[in-house]
Structure 1
């Protein structure tokens, strides 16, 4: 009577969806950011997650992680104040950042960070001093929800995004000072090459 029907399969043999693969990728990135797995392990597990076909392929990749990997929902708040504020060099990048230009301006430079997060949410309020955001080549930005304000908003980034790089989701207003997001300029590239050569 069951001729032509496939045999029942166990749950671990069920096929996984794109969303389920992405959920595991996000969990692994979070675990790496928390120091639970190192970058070598992360790369190996990400390869397996992205190529997983069944639940049996996915399950071992997070089996040694806590049932719920905690995610810090508090954003990093950076205020330009009167004298300005800069984040550059090697710094720990959280998933959410709120930047306020104040009178002195804010600069966020991601070019020397080693960020494995799939996404970084940045709220940028240019205020009087303005905000400059510099992202490495290969990172991409989604800026459709930015309001130019009086000072304007400028997006000089390219849309090409390399695999395993963060997507910057930028919201906020240019205020009076404006907000700019861009890749490194020629001077910054030369400086970075000198630093790498030391």
Structure 2
């Protein structure tokens, strides 16, 4: 069987989708062409069908690891307490605040799905949102916070992200890069900062991100 006839995985489809997004950013594809090719990618069953959306894009090709079927091993850091071996440094984290130690960020992932966090869910000082072609809602109104300042890193493509904050909370969405997307901040930015201050950074491609208060907040304020 030829390589072009081999079946493809979701990881390969995601990889080609990222190549198409890069082509849009470089001006090689219009938004309409991107949408058409993404439809082909999502329906592709073989590597030949995936390659068809890249053949006319110079410099865009599937990672050789996928073509050969041999993926490079993922390096594992040494055990932190191994004799004579220092622990490998982890990803950069915001400094600990409020007496709480720094933690690894919580990673929330979604692919073509609806992701919701609401109620009394625990929010660490740092979160990472990694989503594609879906709808995500993070509701902080009843969440259990460890720190006043929460750092959220967003990497979203072709989706919508909604951040619902408590009435006195503030948010900073000024460090988000967009490609064919939109950013809407409907909450106070501070200073002074609220009991929760959400700092959002990252990128949104052909999608949207909105920070807002719960519905009815403006009416309750008018009524005192």
* TM-score bracket for the superposition, by shorter chain length: 0.5 to 0.7
Equivalent-residue separation in structure 1 for 2:214 and 2:191 (angstroms): 15
Distance 1:106 1:117 in 2: 23
User: Of residues 97, 103, 107 in structure 2, which corresponds to 1:77?
Assistant: 107
* Alignment correspondent of 1:111: 141
Mapping for residues 19-168 of structure 1, pairs under 5 Å: 26-28=97-99, 30=100, 70-72=101-103, 74-159=104-189, 165-168=195-198
The alignment's C-alpha RMSD in Å is 2.6
**Contact residue 84 and residue 101 of structure 1 kept, 8 A:** no
Check whether the contact 1:76–1:96 (CA below 8 A) recurs between aligned residues: yes
CA contact (8 A) 2:124 2:150 kept: yes
Query: Do the aligned partners of 1:139 and 1:161 also contact (CA within 8 Å) in 2?
Result: no
Unaligned regions of 5+ residues in structure 1, if any? Answer: 1-22, 31-69, 191-198
The question of 1:180 aligning with 2:210 is answered yes
Contact 1:132 1:179 in 2 (8 A): yes
Does structure 2 retain, via aligned residues, the 8 Å contact 1:148–1:174?
yes
SS at the partner of 2:179?
coil
The answer as to whether partners of 1:84 and 1:102 remain within 8 angstroms in 2 is no
Q: What is the deviation of 1:80?
A: 2.4
Task: Tell me, yes or no, if the aligned pair for 1:139 and 1:162 is still in contact at 8 Å.
Answer: no
TM-score, reference length from structure 1: 0.55
Identify the residue that residue 67 of structure 1 maps to in structure 2. Answer: none
Question: Which of the two has greater strand per residue?
Answer: 2
CA contact (8 A) 2:173 2:201 kept: yes
Residue 84 of structure 1, CA deviation: 1.7
Deviation at 1:103, TM superposition (A): 1.7
Instruction: Give every structure 1 segment of 4 or more consecutive aligned residues whose post-TM-superposition deviation is greater than 3 Å.
Output: 159-164
Q: Distance in 1 between matches of 2:194 and 2:216?
A: 25
Matched residue, 1:52: none
* Residue equivalent to 1:41: none
Paired residues, number? 125
Helix, strand or coil: the match of 2:147?
Answer: coil
